Structure 1
């Protein structure tokens, strides 16, 4: 979705092949700058039902395997699966353990048998999926009755300061697009899964200068992947313009970068 409230067609979201390549390249640097990702994933884990005891869990969009290891420690008698679209992430994660199996796959078409998991845990991966309805359908298919689908994703308003600052400079697409929270609400309500909880919560990070933010996005593999993004290197004049425009947002803690995080807990009851 755009931040003007209009629907963003699927072809305006990043190509998942480019997403896979970008995150594969970022595997070695990802954990060094993943403060937000760790905070969001731990918050999602804290929202899991207290009595949940899965026989098999799936870390969907497992990345470097950080939360595969968290889940493995929490559910020590369970079988763990780590699945990611980026082969480079899987190669990085596999030697560190946490899961029993590391699988290359797509959240919109899971390479898993129906009724094979009791928990699907996905933190900050599903914003890259153009067809969230397919994600929900696949989660329902793969879960056993009573299974839980827990996800954290991003919605409109994420990196709004960076987006607005770039608009002042040249008006081009420099920031990844995200769905509206209302779209998550609608799709989850219409899915065959029961919604136990669905919330939108802002997380704000602060940086001394803009370059620290842009460096972090690149190290995460989450820099601009949108269709219509500017090609080639960004000129010095435009970068100086970005720095100047972003200063309007400066706070006592530094330059803010807001992430609007969607937390969802859904259950398969039928």
Structure 2
């Protein structure tokens, strides 16, 4: 079952409609290149309080539903909800199961009753939300007393090698922007939720060449979504200049792509 919602209000960066469309298009290819997403989500699962036994959980930004199925296995007695802003992801996830309900919705305006969930789990989705304070406020509203909000997101420093290489070529916006870790700290502290843990960890992937990296970003739906990005195709001369600039970063394992991952676990107090 899918609940259709009115189009969410568009505010800030990035454009939610562009994010939804990009990830909908990537639904079929996403799982084939989601190494980082699997690693980060598994780490977030391991950070859940051991004593947590929710009667209902929400996979917020469920994507293809990989972690909806993992949550269903971990909490077999609980009702599962899977929510995503991208209809294409929901269409891909629904036949694979894991959740009782698949809901089209926006993390900044959750279509759920107050105090209705014991766990909100969100892995690598909230970096696309411009108003993280609204995400936290909605999590606090929807959590039951004692409920947990666990998220993994990205902060400044993510894909820095690619950003620096493009900067050397033309100075235009080719890489998605992310909020500072200090902003996560400030907003979580002001959320009214009890902060159990908040930390940043670097995850480095390696690629044989630039083309493989950009192909993976496109297959994930996570290529450049920012206003100010250059339009049209990248010219051959600029592409060769990018390759030359990125090659200066090469390590024995290949070309590095660093992701600065933020892990947060918060609780609504009793």
TM range (shorter): over 0.9
- 2:64 is aligned to 64
Give the structure 1 partner of residue 20 of structure 2.
20
1:266 alignment counterpart: 266
2:106 paired with 1:111: no
Q: Residues 195-230 of structure 1: CA distance to partner in whole angstroms, max 9, x if unpaired?
A: 000000000000010100000000000000000000
**Alignment-derived partner of residue 4 in structure 1:** none
Deviations for 1:228-260, whole angstroms, at most 9, x for unmatched residues? Answer: 000000001111010000011100100000000
Q: Does 1:33 align with 2:33?
A: yes
Aligned counterpart, 1:173: 173
Equivalent position of 1:252 in the other structure: 252
Residues 164 and 12 (structure 1), Cα distance of their counterparts in 2 relative to 1, 3 Å cut = farther
Q: Kindly state the Cα deviation for residue 12 of structure 1 after the two structures are TM-superposed.
A: 6.1
Which aligned pairs between 1:36-55 and structure 2 lie closer than 5 A? Answer: 36-55=36-55
Shift of 1:14: 1.5
- Aligned residue pairs: how many? 261
**Runs of 5+ consecutive residues of structure 1 not aligned to the other structure:** 1-9
Q: Is the 8 A contact 1:12 1:226 kept in 2?
A: no
2:120 corresponds to 1:120: yes
Moved over 3 A (4+): none
Supply the distance in 1 between the matched residues of 2:62 and 2:82 (Cα, whole angstroms): 6
Distance 1:132 1:245, change over 3 A: same
Aligned partners of 2:207 and 2:214: how far apart in 1?
A: 10
Distance in 2 separating the partners of 1:120 and 1:93:
18
- Which blocks of at least 5 consecutive residues in structure 2 are unaligned? 1-9
Q: What does the per-residue CA deviation read over 1:119-155, in whole Å, with 9 as the maximum and x for residues that have no partner? A: 0000000000000000000000000000000000000
Q: Is the 8 A contact 2:12 2:131 kept in 1?
A: no
Per-residue CA distance 1:51-102 (angstroms, 9 max, x = gap): 1111000000000000000000110110000000000000000000000000
Using the TM superposition, give the Cα deviation of residue 173 of structure 1 relative to its aligned residue in structure 2, in angstroms: 0.0
Partner deviation per Cα, 1:23-62 (whole Å, 9 max, x = no partner): 0000000000000000000000000001111100000000
TM-score w.r.t. structure 2 length? 0.96
Q: What residue is the counterpart of 1:212 in the other structure?
A: 212
Other-structure match for 1:83: 83
Aligned equivalents of 2:40, 2:216: Cα separation in 1:
16
Report the Cα offset of residue 11 of structure 1: 6.5
